[in-house]
Structure 1
Amino acid sequence: MLPVNQAEQIILNLVQPFDRAYDVETLSLLNASGRILAETVTSSLDFPHWNNSAMDGYAVRYDDVQTCSAENPVILDIVEEIPAGYQPQTPIQPGQAARILTGSVMPTGADTIVIQEETQREGDRVTIFASPQHHAFVRDRGAFYQAGNALLPPGLRLQAPEIAVLAAAQCAQVNVYRRPKVAILSTGSELVGIDQPLQPGQIVDSNQYALAAVVAQAGAEPLMLGSVPDQPEALKTAIQQAIAAADMVLSSGGVSVGDYDYVDEILAALGATIHIHAVAVKPGKPLTVATFDHEKGRGKETPSLDSPTSKKQLLYFGLPGNPVSALVSCWRFVLPALRKLSGLPSPWEPKFVKARSLSTLKSDGKRESYLWGNLRLVDGEFEFELATGSHSSGNLINLAGTSGLAVIPLEETQISVGDHVQVLPIG
């Protein structure tokens, strides 16, 4: 069995990220939310576009107001009012001011804003009762961004702030990486679909839905291929279909040492290179990681824009069949690989947080153990509380509603109440 960190590095080293020459599509800005930017975006606009006011008040010459106070106020003539969207027409001369609103263009001659709370207006004159700092509340053209520079870098996931920046820069379309296609299939003659009546000995194929949810939440496209019985020919056909359709394949079940565990054997027969067979992790020891190249796995050598075969190598994960084991393995090993594949920049590894344990956490010390529970931020410190009930790899029930996996390192057997523990946020 490989240590967890060693398995993680092997997997990440196998991943070949999307290629900007083949794996990019152009989307309208409205359809680009959540997608990953594939190229540097620049703008021909300065931000701000012009010198403008950051407050409601009066645009003045600093020389006119630098010595004023409540005891020695200054009275200025108001020569213009500048609402938002208006181009000032009158330059500010000595002894003059312009009424100005937030975001409005600064008039020529003015270099400072006096906020209206420190003034009193009477007709066309305004009294200034406090001396501002020079250049106070003036936002200079190009202070936030100068035209021609990099505005947003490639590898950035486009969320609300980035979408807003692109809209402000008048980018109606953006080039983004396509969504990775992830084929998902479940193995086991005991599996039935959610719409089928259960017979004795059968179970519902929940892994198909759980893994599809994780994949979709990561921004990839799940291809749900259903369940396959423990029959070598049927499984071989299903795996061939999966590797022909996707950038990554996730199968669950069939990778242990049982009499009906055929996945590794079939992968080898199809020409896969198997890199990992098992990892020292609990839950989830059985884990097959394999790769296919074009010639062996997909039968195509020439990449095209509309086909996932632009990838030189496909990564195959044979996950455990127990539902909690499948999910933990997906969170711990598949998601980092998917982040790298999809075009996100490093680091791709999971981000753990240090939390104070509210529960006693136990392990046999033989494998790195992951215990699920609730992770909360309380008064600036993370706390972790173990979920009640059985922590069995087949028990999905108490996994629901949890938000973190506490890690008990290899060869450690207990983390006591009040001790700190590394926790992987989930969900």
Structure 2
Amino acid sequence: MINVNEAWNLLLSHVIPLKEESVALEQSLGRVLTNDLKADRDYPPFDRVAMDGYALSYESWQSGQRKFIVQAMQTAGQKPTELGDEKHCIEIMTGSALPRLCDLVIRYEDSRRDGDHVYFLEDLQLERYTNVHRKGIDCPAGRSFPDRLMTPPLVALAASFGSHSLKVIRKPRISIIGTGDELVAINFKPLDYQIRASNIHAMRMAVESRGHEVLSSETIVDERDLIRTSVEKALESSDILLLSGGVSAGKTDYIPEILKACGIEEVFHKINQRPGKPLWFGQSKSGKTVFGLPGNPVSTLICLYRYVLPYIEAAQGRKHIQRPMVKLVSPRPKNSALTFFQAVKISYGDDAVIRADAALHNGSGDFASLSGTDGFVEIPGELEPNYNPKQTIFPFYSW
């Protein structure tokens, strides 16, 4: 049986990159660019006034002149005015282009206005281009930006550069199937021996919360032909198929054999971890990816957040996220050969240490124990290369 690190490395080595598509800027948030953004001109594109006040000649100021005639007023978006005389100044607003022949801006706060004249304080320490944001100082024309994930700051850059259409990696087509004879729809009243199908809803919301799209989600009974029909149909239209249940060692756990019959080759089955030991992963020669997640609710979510969502992000070209390290303040679970995923509640102290308090639970079927938690920590088992029995700092995965 492979350990957690081996499983993750196998996943990374089987990432199938998605193709690109063009989207409007308004639909680009959270998408991954296939090319660097490039500045179409200098930014700022002109000497930009940084304070409300008066623009004037630095030479006039240096010569000792402190009284000026207000020639005109210029606001942001207006064509730059030209200074008419060295004894003149131009009233100016923040964001305006610096008037021609001016190379200094003095704030309103450092002046006194009297009709068409303005008087400046005598002892101001000023330099040429004080209160002026010089052309190109933020970003010269042609500069490339290697960031690829479209966040709001990058959207602002793209909009400023006039990039109204962007080439991005397309979203994966994802389908979800839950299996189990004991499952009924959430709008049904279950019999004493039945439970409502919660996994597919939690999985769908988790996937969609990351900006991905789910083509379909359904729950079916543990019947070979029905499962195979649903799997074959989902594989026709999906890049990634997520299954919940049917991957353990029970008599009706048909998923591995059905996937093999559908042309999906097993990469690994079972990981040295709890919860989520029976996790199954495979791919077809045509590029279809399948995850078989254990059916217990906690196991399903742990495997989804630890393996599936990071895999999807890797397929979209996103860089692997460095997980925050948190301090487990609850007693550490007993040493085990299995890596343990512990659901936790996060708190923050004045010492800048992120604290994780373990949630009490009754096993991998206890989905109620996840209420109020923020995610889980990964506690290496004795077989992991980074195992340390005294360790209290662990990587944290948020829901």
Cα deviation code 1:292-346 (max 9, x no counterpart): 122xxxxxxxxxxxxxxxxxx12111111101101000100111110011232x2
Query: Structure 1 residue 142 and structure 2 residue 136: aligned?
Result: yes
C-alpha separation between the residues in 2 aligned to 1:425 and 1:113? 51
Query: For 1:286, what is the secondary structure of its paired residue?
Result: coil
1:373 correspondence with 2:344: yes
SS in 2 for 1:362: coil
Aligned residue number for residue 2 of structure 1: 2
Contact 2:328 2:394 in 1 (8 A): no
Is residue 163 of structure 2 the alignment partner of residue 171 of structure 1? Answer: yes
The aligned counterpart of 1:46 is 42
Distance 2:393 2:193 in 1: 39
Contact 2:204/2:217 (<8 A) preserved: no
Mapped to 1, the partners of 2:362 and 2:63 lie a distance apart of 73
Equivalent pair of 1:362/1:413 in contact (CA under 8 Å): no
User: Quick one: which of 26, 30, 53 aligns to 1:57?
Assistant: 53
**In structure 2, how many angstroms separate the alpha carbons of the residues matched to 1:324 and 1:66?**
73
Identity across matched positions, percent: 29
In the other structure, the counterpart of 1:34 is 30
CA contact (8 A) 2:30 2:149 kept: no
Aligned to 2:152: 160
Residue 401 of structure 1 pairs with residue 394 of structure 2? no
Partners of 2:74 and 2:81 within 8 A in 1: no
> Contact conserved, 1:376 with 1:382, CA < 8 A, in 2?
yes
Looking at structure 2, the residues matched to 268 and 391 of structure 1 have their Cα atoms a distance apart, in angstroms, of 34
Contact 2:78 2:96 in 1 (8 A): yes
Change (3 A) 1:132 1:353: same
Kindly provide the amino acid, as one letter, of the partner of residue 32 in structure 1: S
2:289 matched to 1:315? Answer: yes
Quick check: 1:100 aligned with 2:92?
Answer: yes
The 3 A distance-change label for structure 1 pair 136 and 276 is same
CA distance in 2, matches of 1:420, 1:75: 68
Equivalent pair of 1:51/1:139 in contact (CA under 8 Å): yes
Matches within 5 A, 1:59-208: 59-66=55-62, 74-91=66-83, 93-129=85-121, 130-150=124-144, 152-153=145-146, 155-157=148-150, 159-208=151-200
- Secondary structure of 1:274's aligned partner: strand
TM-score (norm 2): 0.91
**What is the rounded CA distance, in whole Å, between the counterparts of 2:323 and 2:94 in structure 1?**
43
SS in 1 for 2:288: strand
Distance 2:177 2:275 in 1: 20
Q: 1:25-60 CA deviation, whole Å, 9 max, x = no partner?
A: x33333333333333333534321221101112212
Structure 2: gaps (5+ residues): none
Which residue in 2 is equivalent to 1:300?
none
Deviations 1:158-198 (CA, angstroms, capped at 9, x unpaired)? x3323333333333333333221111101111111112221
- The Cα shift of 1:367 comes to 0.9
Amino acid across the alignment from 1:185: I
> What is the SS of the residue equivalent to 2:174?
strand
Verify: 1:354 aligned to 2:325, yes or no: yes
**Matching of residue 330 in structure 1 with residue 304 in structure 2:** yes
Q: Give the secondary structure class of the aligned counterpart of 1:424.
A: strand
Q: Which amino acid aligns with 1:238?
A: S
The equivalent residue for 1:301 is: none
Q: What is the rounded CA distance, in whole Å, between the counterparts of 1:60 and 1:31 in structure 2?
A: 44
CA contact (8 A) 1:271 1:292 kept: yes
Among 374, 381, 384, the alignment partner of 1:410 is 381
Q: Is 2:53–2:107's contact at 8 Å kept on the other side of the alignment?
A: yes
Is residue 2:266 matched to residue 1:270? Answer: no
Q: Which amino acid aligns with 1:325?
A: S
**Preserved CA contact (<8 Å) 1:360 1:414:** no
Change in Cα spacing, 1:155 to 1:17, as seen in structure 2 (3 Å) is farther
Residue 280 of structure 2 aligns with which residue?
Answer: 288
Aligned partners of 2:326 and 2:395 also within 8 Å? yes
d(CA) in 2 for partners of 1:56, 1:100: 6
| Rounded Cα–Cα distance in structure 1 between residues aligned with 2:367 and 2:244 | 15
Q: Aligned Cα RMSD in Å?
A: 2.3
Is the Cα–Cα contact under 8 Å of residues 92 and 110 in structure 1 kept in the other structure? no
- Give the Cα–Cα distance (whole angstroms) in 1 for the partners of residues 135 and 226 of structure 2: 66
Return closer, same or farther for 1:139/1:54 CA change in 2, 3 Å cut-off. same
Segments of 5+ residues of structure 1 without an aligned counterpart are 295-312
- CA-CA distance at 1:65 after TM superposition: 2.9
The offset of 1:263, in angstroms, is: 1.2
How many Å separate the matches in 2 of 1:126 and 1:212?
65
CA distance in 1 between partners of 2:362 and 2:128 (Å): 65
Residues in 2 aligned to 1:127 and 1:425: alpha-carbon distance in whole angstroms: 61
* Contact 1:372-1:399 within 8 A present in 2 as well: yes
Aligned partners of 2:69 and 2:280: how far apart in 1? 80
Q: Post-superposition shift, 1:66?
A: 4.5
The CA distance in 1 between the partners of 2:364 and 2:239, in whole Å, is 28
* TM-score, normalization by structure 1: 0.85
CA distance in 2 between counterparts of 1:60 and 1:332 reads: 61
Q: CA deviation at 1:156?
A: 1.7
Once the two structures are overlaid, the 10-residue window that deviates more, 357-366 or 367-376, is 357-366
**Which letter does structure 2 place at the counterpart of 1:12?**
L
How many Å separate the matches in 2 of 1:396 and 1:414? 28
Q: Is the 8 A contact 2:39 2:139 kept in 1?
A: no
